[in-house]
Amino acid sequence: QVQLQESGPGLVKPSQTLSLTCTVSSDSISSGGYHWSWIRQHPGMGLEWIGYIYYNGNTYYNPSLKSRVTISVDTSENQFSLKLSSVTAADTAVYYCARTNYYGSAGYYFDHWGQGTLVTVSS
Amino acid sequence: QSVLTQPPSVSGAPGQRVTISCTGSSSNIGAGYDVHWYQQLPGTAPKLLIYVNNNRPSGVSDRFSGSRSGTSASLAITGLQAEDEADYFCQSHDSSLSGNYVFGTGTKVTVL
C-alpha cells in the first residue's frame, strides 16, 4: 500500500516562500506509472489542486497559482517538493500530496493521499 | 470559487438512501470529462471513493455508487450508516482557465 508523507515548516512569514516535501514509500516515483500532485484545503473549505509532476520533471500547474508555484522531483530520494513564493495569509491551508492516476486525455484522479500538513502564514 | 457546485449539506436516518449532486457546465462535466468522488472523514485526508464516474476502488463498500448525465453527476449512498458521516467532494477536469483539475464545493453528510 503506497504511503505519502508531507514534511516542512508549519509557519511561514508573509512574502516568504513556502517549502514542503512529500516522501513516497511502497511505490517508486521513477517507475513512471503515476503523476504526483500537491493539493491544498483552506480551513473549513474545499480543495484546490496546485499542480503535478511526472518522474521526468514534466510539470503542470493550476493557472491561478502558476506564477508562484514550483514543483520538483528527486527520484533518488523518492520525493517531490512544492515551493510557493510570495505567500500571504490567503495561502494558509492544509497541504496534501497525492498520487495521481492518469488514464487518458484529461483523465486524472487522486488515488492515495498523504495525511496533510497545516501551513500557517503569519508574521 | 469552484466551478462544480454541490449542496452544502444532506442528511438522512440510518438505513436511508441519500444522493449528492455535483453540477457543472459545458466546460467540464458537460464536455464529457469524467467525475470522481472523495470522502473526507473528520480530521483526516480525503479518500478516493468513486473513480471514472461509477467505479469503486477495492475496499469501498458497494453502498456507494456514482453516475453522470449531462452537465451533472451524482453520488448515492444506500443503507446510510453512522460511519458515512463525512464531507464528500466531486472532482473533474475543466477546459477553461479555472484550474483544470477542479473540485466541487463539498457536501457534509449528517446521519440523523
C-alpha distance from A46 to closest chain B C-alpha (Å) = 6
pLDDT at B99: 59
Distance from the B104 Cα atom to the nearest Cα atom in chain A, whole angstroms: 7
Contacts of B94 (CB under 8 A, 6+ apart): B3, B24, B27, B28, B33, B100, B101, B102
Give percent of chain B above pLDDT 90. Answer: 91
From the list A45, A46, A108, the residue facing B101 with the nearest CB is A108
The tens digit of pLDDT for each residue in B29-63 reads 999 999 999 999 999 999 999 999 999 999 999 99
Which 3-state string (H, E, C) describes chain A? CCEEEEECCCEECCCCCEEEEEEEECCCHHHCCCEEEEEEECCCCCEEEEEEECCCCCEEECCCCCCCEEEEEECCCCEEEEEECCCCHHHCEEEEEEEEEEEECCEEEEEEECCCEEEEECC
- Stated as kind and residue range, the H or E segment containing B65 is strand B64-69
Contact A20, A8 (CB under 8 A): yes
Strand partners, A71: A82
Residues 6 or more apart from B61 whose CB is under 8 A from it?
A: none
Q: Answer whether residue B87 shows pLDDT above 80.
A: yes
- The reply to whether residue B38 touches residue A115, judged by beta carbons under 8 angstroms, is no
Q: Does B2 touch chain A (CB under 8 A)?
A: yes
Residue A84 phi, psi (nearest 5) = -125, 115
Band (pLDDT 50/70/90 cuts) for residue A36 is very high
Share of chain A above pLDDT 90, in %: 90
A2, A22, A47, A96: which to substitute to probe chain B, counting the most B Cβ within 10 Å?
A: A47
Instruction: Tell me how far apart the alpha carbons of residues B4 and B30 are, in angstroms, rounded to a whole number.
Output: 11
Closest CA of chain A from B44, distance in Å: 7
Q: Residue A24 carries which side chain, given as an amino acid letter?
A: V
- Residue B98, pLDDT > 70, answer no
Q: How far apart are CA A54 and CA A34, in angstroms?
A: 7
Q: Do A60 and B100 touch (CB under 8 A)?
A: yes
Instruction: Select from A46, A62, A63 the Cβ nearest to the Cβ of B106.
Output: A46
Query: Would you call A37 exposed, middle or buried from its count of C-beta atoms within 10 A (0-12, 13-18, 19+)?
Result: buried
Can you tell me the distance from the alpha carbon of A47 to that of B46, in angstroms, rounded to the nearest whole number? 9
Tell me the average pLDDT across B8-23. 97
Contact A110 B57 (CB under 8 A): no
Longest dimension (CA), chain A: 44
Distance CA A10, CA B32 (A): 39
**Which residue out of B4, B9, B87, B100 would a mutagenesis test of the A interface target, given it has the greatest number of A Cβ atoms within 10 Å?**
B100
The pLDDT of residue A105 is above 80: no
Per-residue pLDDT tens for A70-104? 999 999 999 999 999 999 999 999 999 999 998 87
Chain B residues close to A116, C-beta within 8 Å: 45
